[in-house]
Structure 1
């Protein structure tokens, strides 16, 4: 909780396992969305990362599609 740790550094990207924990979505689901281009990701070294901003955009788009 950022309120309890005022000196904590805010994450700007998640690894896949972190994105799974943060969203409650499954690994396979996230990989499928990355493969389709619906969810942007970057590869740095050997790691696949999802920027927090891209994850938020993906979730917002999903919410908007459910509403319309």
Structure 2
């Protein structure tokens, strides 16, 4: 049942998002906070060149408290 809820959460977003989209998904947090979450590893991401690519599932896992 939890898996089905995870599938529907943020269904309007692509599977991989950028920092600005992540800020919106997390309720409008600032970029500084977003980068701190990414650098600390609290939200898993990939850094390609100078930009972060964040799997949507990593944001969902952060919100629901699973890893």
Q: Same fold (TM over 0.5)?
A: yes
Name stretches of at least 5 consecutive residues in structure 1 with no aligned partner: 1-8, 63-68
TM-score (norm 2): 0.65
Match of 1:33 in 2: 37
| Structure 1 residue runs of 4 or more that deviate by more than 3 Å after TM superposition | none
**Using CA pairs below 8 Å that are at least 6 residues apart, which structure has the higher relative contact order?**
2
Name stretches of at least 5 consecutive residues in structure 2 with no aligned partner: 1-11
For the aligned residues, what is the CA RMSD? 2.2
TM-score (norm 1): 0.64
- 2: CA distance, partners of 1:27 / 1:10: 18
Match of 1:13 in 2: 16
